């Protein structure tokens, strides 16, 4: 009376549909990771090129260097990586990309520092340390503040580092600035370490004083 | 916690896809058997049929209902009509009294006792071998009865035949989307009929052999869904119920969300409680696909919708919370990412593809239903509106029905 074969066939069809969905998901996930890798490679080339340029022409005029310096795509990569961490699952590939991203940030940071010393210009940057290992509400809020700040002052560079990143270079950064995991989020502005949450107003005053940055009006940002 | 929720989520998605695929496979197996007959059907003999019209405050529609019965393409001497006023407080009795002089119409007036008591009064006075009901807000197509009776002629083991319900009044948006839902229901009903697994023999013009009631007894209150309980009882006794897709009965549907809510609450409450009453029918080989497919699919859908609603509220709560935190932290702030939209940020998690698949299967059900009723399958915007509107409001009557079952509060008829 009951057609068991049909129940089985329908089960197999449904399972196939499920597998197809998961295949599609993996396929597009892989494409996204590929896209991230492309951006990273481009940034790596940009940085390497700037470094080489810097080493080649030690007497290069400062204006030339600062113009070509530093990949503007770091921030975009950061955003995409953060999204990828939440949406592509906690895969080894994503973790590797994140490590690589941290490394690029450090290189970018070092280069910026070198250039600012040599050319005696103040590069505006903030180092930001947070954690994803445990629920850190203050980190989430600080992240929002920094995003808003960066939108307001496009010249400002924010280098963010996940405390739990398994990379010796990141660990060295933590040691240099004596960042402890109990005091996250932590910010470094002009070699001064600020721990805990700092509001937008507070950081804005700091940034304006330290770097003499001008606020960009929203219309101007869009034109750019 | 979220991983358990994810597992449950995927189990529900799997079951939903399974049920849809099951019906689709049934359709593909039987597609040649599903025909729409043009013109009138001839029977070798016309057995006598009694149609009972139970009325309770139906003054606006009952006359048209009776007219539709009088216009049926069926020999007048073989068709008996019982008009039963179940204690109406409006002018219903006055209206049906006008039909007293018709030779094949009999009128009854009784104290209000609920629809099942009116039907049972009809059963007590039944002299014919076939019995049907017609709700006083529904109108039978002139060819409907003869097409239904052809199923009994073709297969002597058929014990009841349900027609296709078509929406009579679709003025408001909420009615237009129900019209689509009813088309889809024709497809589901036909498939369940082919499987021998129908769980409801609706009030508008389902026709039974008298033997059903002789053997199994009269209608019961059955949580105000007597048309569902009798189908359960028939399934339990392996009585065959068919669905005649080209017998059309036009039925009036609720015009407001509030009325629709009350109607669906009664239906779902009836489904839950009749299923509880007949729980020993579940997963028993001898009860066939009714016990392995219809009931489990219904139960899973109730749980799935409740679960999904909970999940949606949870996600919505999280989203709103994050927005509140954002507002408190940096005020109103729009990030530049809104200006330059990037395909990268479109989610490609597997459930997105599965949801697209489910919506496509539901969409296909509507198309197939339309094909089965109207013979054409053109999609319409109302199909999209149906998905949008029902996925928002349906969870509420489901949850209320579960809630009412738990605190045992019976929903009102209207």
Let me know whether A211 and A130 are in one domain.
Answer: yes
Query: So what's the pLDDT on residue B150?
Result: 96
Query: What CATH number is associated with residue A185?
Result: 3.40.30.10
d(CA B153, CA B317): 58
> Residues near B67 by Cβ (< 8 Å), separated by ≥ 6?
B139
Confidence of residue A17 (pLDDT cuts 50, 70, 90): very high
> Residues near B50 by Cβ (< 8 Å), separated by ≥ 6?
B80, B81, B82, B122, B126, B127, B128, B130, B131, B132
Let me know whether A81 and A20 are in one domain.
Answer: yes
- Mean pLDDT, chain A, whole residue set: 79
Q: A139 vs chain B: nearest CA distance in angstroms? A: 12
Interchain proximity A24–B348, CB inside 8 Å: yes
* Probe site for chain B from A25, A216, A217 (most B CB atoms < 10 A): A25
Among A114, A151, A146, A115, smallest CA distance to A128 is for: A146
Let me know whether A181 and A98 are in one domain.
Answer: no
Let me know whether A8 and A88 are in one domain.
Answer: yes
Let me know whether A157 and A221 are in one domain.
Answer: yes
Tell me the average pLDDT across A187-204.
Answer: 84
**Tokens 């928002």 identify what position?**
B392
Q: Which domain holds residue A38?
A: 1-119
DSSP3 helix / strand / coil % (chain A, rounded to 5): 65, 10, 25
Strand partners, B80: B50
Interchain proximity B333–A28, CB inside 8 Å: no
Q: Could you give the angle at which helices A168-176 and A92-119 cross, rounded to 10 degrees?
A: 50
Out of A21, A145, A151, the one facing B353 most closely (by C-beta) is A21
Interchain proximity B17–A18, CB inside 8 Å: yes
Let me know whether A8 and A111 are in one domain.
Answer: yes
Let me know whether A35 and A137 are in one domain.
Answer: no
Query: So what's the pLDDT on residue B323?
Result: 85
Domain count for chain A, please give it.
2
Those residues of chain B that have pLDDT short of 50 are 337-338
Give the percent of chain A with pLDDT over 90: 10
Query: So what's the pLDDT on residue A98?
Result: 84
Let me know whether A12 and A89 are in one domain.
Answer: yes
Q: Which DSSP category does B166 fall into?
A: E
> Which residues of chain A have a CB within 8 Å of the CB of B330?
144-145, 147-148, 200
Q: Given strand B130-133, what is the order of strands in its sheet?
A: B105-110, B79-86, B49-55, B130-133, B207-209, B158-167, B240-251, B138-140
Let me know whether A128 and A71 are in one domain.
Answer: no
Of A119, A151, A182, the residue that ends a domain is A119
Query: CA B382: distance to chain centroid?
Result: 18
* Probe site for chain A from B2, B6, B21, B356 (most A CB atoms < 10 A): B21
Query: So what's the pLDDT on residue A219?
Result: 46
Q: Which residue of A has its CA nearest to B16?
A: A14
Say how many C-beta atoms besides its own lie within 10 A of residue B382's C-beta. Answer: 20
Let me know whether A7 and A101 are in one domain.
Answer: yes
Those of residues 276-315 in B touching chain A at CB distance below 8 A are 285-286, 288-289, 292
Q: Which residues of A touch B (CB under 8 A)?
A: 1-2, 6-7, 9-11, 13-14, 17-18, 20-22, 24-25, 28-29, 32, 35, 79-80, 83, 87, 137, 140-141, 144-145, 147-148, 151, 199-200, 221-222
Q: A131 vs chain B: nearest CA distance in angstroms? A: 18
Residue with more model confidence, B138 or A75: B138
d(CA A99, CA A40): 11
Residue with more model confidence, B312 or A183: B312
Of A119, A154, A185, the residue that ends a domain is A119
Decide if B107 contacts B24 (C-beta within 8 A). Answer: no
d(CA B375, CA B403): 41
pTM of the full structure: 0.85
Of A119, A149, A178, the residue that ends a domain is A119
Query: So what's the pLDDT on residue B279?
Result: 95
Strand partners, A126: A158, A189
Decide if A102 contacts A162 (C-beta within 8 A). Answer: yes
Let me know whether A179 and A114 are in one domain.
Answer: no
> Which residues of chain B have a CB within 8 Å of the CB of A25?
348-350, 352-353
Query: CA B301: distance to chain centroid?
Result: 14
d(CA B344, CA B347): 8
Interchain proximity B325–A18, CB inside 8 Å: no
Interchain proximity A7–B292, CB inside 8 Å: yes
> Which residues of chain B have a CB within 8 Å of the CB of A14?
14, 17-18, 21
Let me know whether A173 and A92 are in one domain.
Answer: no
Query: So what's the pLDDT on residue B340?
Result: 57
Tell me the average pLDDT across A72-91.
Answer: 77
Q: Could you give the angle at which helices B350-374 and B173-195 cross, rounded to 10 degrees?
A: 90
């Amino acid at each position: 009376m009951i057609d068991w074969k049909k129940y089985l066939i329908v089960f197999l069809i449904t399972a196939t549909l499920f597998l197809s969905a998961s295949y599609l998901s993996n396929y597009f996930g892989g494409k996204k990771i590929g896209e991230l890798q492309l951006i990273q490679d481009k940034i790596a080339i940009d940085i390497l090129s700037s470094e080489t340029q810097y080493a080649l022409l030690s007497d290069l005029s400062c204006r030339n260097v600062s113009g070509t310096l530093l990949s503007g795509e770091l921030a975009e990569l950061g955003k995409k990586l953060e999204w990828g961490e939440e949406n592509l699952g906690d895969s080894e590939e994503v973790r590797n990309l994140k490590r690589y991203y941290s490394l690029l940030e450090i290189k970018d940071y070092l280069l910026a520092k070198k250039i600012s010393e040599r050319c005696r210009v103040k590069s505006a940057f903030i180092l930001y340390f947070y954690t994803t290992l445990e629920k850190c509400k203050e980190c989430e809020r600080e992240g929002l503040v920094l995003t808003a700040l960066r939108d307001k002052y496009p010249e400002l560079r924010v280098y963010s580092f996940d405390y739990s990143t398994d990379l010796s270079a990141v660990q060295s950064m933590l040691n240099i600035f004596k960042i402890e995991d109990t005091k996250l989020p932590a910010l470094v502005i002009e070699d001064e370490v600020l721990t805990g949450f700092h509001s937008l107003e507070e950081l804005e005053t700091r940034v304006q004083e330290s770097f003499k940055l001008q606020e960009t009006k929203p219309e101007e940002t869009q034109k750019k | 916690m979220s991983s358990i929720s994810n597992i449950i989520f995927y189990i529900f998605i799997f079951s939903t896809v399974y049920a849809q695929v099951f019906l689709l496979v049934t359709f593909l197996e039987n597609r040649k058997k599903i025909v729409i007959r043009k013109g009138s059907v001839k029977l070798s003999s016309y057995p006598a049929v009694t149609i009972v019209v139970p009325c309770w405050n139906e003054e606006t529609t009952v006359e048209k209902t009776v007219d539709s019965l009088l216009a049926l393409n069926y020999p007048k001497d073989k068709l008996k009509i019982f008009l039963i006023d179940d204690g109406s407080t409006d002018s219903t009795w006055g209206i049906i009294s006008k039909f007293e002089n018709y030779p094949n119409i009999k009128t009854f007036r009784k104290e209000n006792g609920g629809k099942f008591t009116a039907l049972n009064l009809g059963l007590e006075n039944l002299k014919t071998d076939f019995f049907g009901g017609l709700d006083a807000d529904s109108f039978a197509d002139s060819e409907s009865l003869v097409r239904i009776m052809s199923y009994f002629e073709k297969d002597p083991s058929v014990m009841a035949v349900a027609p296709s319900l078509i929406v009579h009044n679709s003025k408001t948006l909420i009615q237009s989307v129900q019209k689509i839902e009813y088309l889809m229901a024709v497809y589901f009903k036909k498939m369940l009929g082919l499987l021998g697994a129908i769980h409801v023999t609706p009030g508008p013009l389902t026709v039974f052999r008298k033997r059903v009631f002789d053997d199994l007894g009269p209608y019961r209150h059955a949580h105000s869904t007597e048309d569902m309980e009798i189908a359960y009882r028939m399934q339990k006794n392996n009585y065959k119920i068919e669905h005649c897709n080209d017998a059309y009965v036009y039925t009036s549907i609720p015009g407001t969300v509030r009325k629709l809510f009350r109607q669906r609450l009664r239906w779902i409450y009836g489904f839950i409680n009749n299923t509880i009453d007949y729980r020993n029918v579940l997963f028993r080989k001898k009860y066939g696909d009714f016990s392995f497919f219809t009931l489990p699919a219904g139960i899973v859908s109730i749980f799935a919708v409740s679960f999904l609603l909970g999940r949606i509220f949870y996600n919505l709560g999280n989203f709103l919370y994050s927005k509140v935190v954002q507002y408190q932290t940096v005020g109103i702030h729009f990030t530049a990412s809104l200006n330059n939209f990037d395909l990268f940020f479109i989610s490609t998690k597997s459930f997105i593809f599965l949801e697209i698949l489910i919506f496509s299967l539901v969409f296909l059900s509507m198309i197939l239903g339309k094909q089965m009723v109207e013979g054409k399958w053109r999609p319409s915007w109302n199909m999209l509106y149906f998905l949008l509107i029902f996925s928002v409001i349906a969870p509420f009557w489901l949850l209320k029905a579960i809630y009412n079952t738990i605190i045992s509060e019976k929903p009102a008829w209207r």
